Structure 1
């Protein structure tokens, strides 16, 4: 009357083994997803490909950021992600880079380029220097600002 059927013992052992295996797999999964470099690249491309001046912001959950004219890379701890930018002539303006012209920082923050620069040529030259500079990894801000501006015939997409 109080016998344990032999089948039940094997079933319980099987369930126990599957539980241990499931716990092992769950322990090896990352605690958080990798940084969203493709989402950042999409935001940059959508602003840069536009015909009209525009501004956008994209929240970041990464520790480090690297923006080059053709790619954006994000790193968070041991995870890193990189995505290609399809829009031409992105101008990186990292906030922690003292070499980049401070007037570009002002334009990125919302100051009209004709107020920050004397003429379109000086604006174009400052953007070109920022693009051709060798950019390094920087501490990532909480949000990334993308601004496409026009000054005369000069069209520039600032990212910082």
Structure 2
């Protein structure tokens, strides 16, 4: 009645081996999914490709972001993802927050202030956008949400992203 069957031993060893293998696979899976760079790129492209002023927001599940006029790269616990932007010439407005309360003029426009209330002429807006596009595009801490705003001032059309 209390005999050990030879087949039962192999069955228990097989179950134990499968359990260890399953635990090993589960331990190698990332704790969270990779950030959604393609969704952010789609939001940016849909606003930037429009002919009219527009604003959109996209939530970010990332720890850091690198934004250039041609791509968006997100990094987080789930890895790093990059997506190309198809829209022509977006203007990155990501600023490192080092305890200063000053905001750049482009940041104020991105947050909703009309460009003519911030810049004296359309040429000033175009020059500020060009400086932002040519700045060093290093990794920055990612905000909870990214804002995309297309503005027109005179004949200048700028898509701000930050």
Q: What CA deviation, in whole Å up to 9, does each residue of 1:84-128 have, x standing for no partner?
A: 111110000113279xx8211110000111111112111111111
Which residue does the alignment assign to 1:93? 93
Which residue does the alignment assign to 1:79? 79
Aligned CA RMSD, in angstroms, stands at 1.9
The 5-angstrom pairing of residues 127-146 of structure 1 reads 127-146=129-148
Instruction: Tell me the SS of whatever aligns to 1:135.
Output: coil
Q: What CA deviation, in whole Å up to 9, does each residue of 1:54-89 have, x standing for no partner?
A: 111111122211110001111225822211111110
* Uncovered stretches (5+) of structure 2, i.e. residues with no partner: none
The 5-angstrom pairing of residues 1-160 of structure 1 reads 1-77=1-77, 79-96=79-96, 102-160=104-162
State the number of aligned residues. Answer: 158
Instruction: Tell me the SS of whatever aligns to 1:51.
Output: coil
* Uncovered stretches (5+) of structure 1, i.e. residues with no partner: none
* Paired residues of 2:33 and 2:78 also in contact (CA < 8 A): no
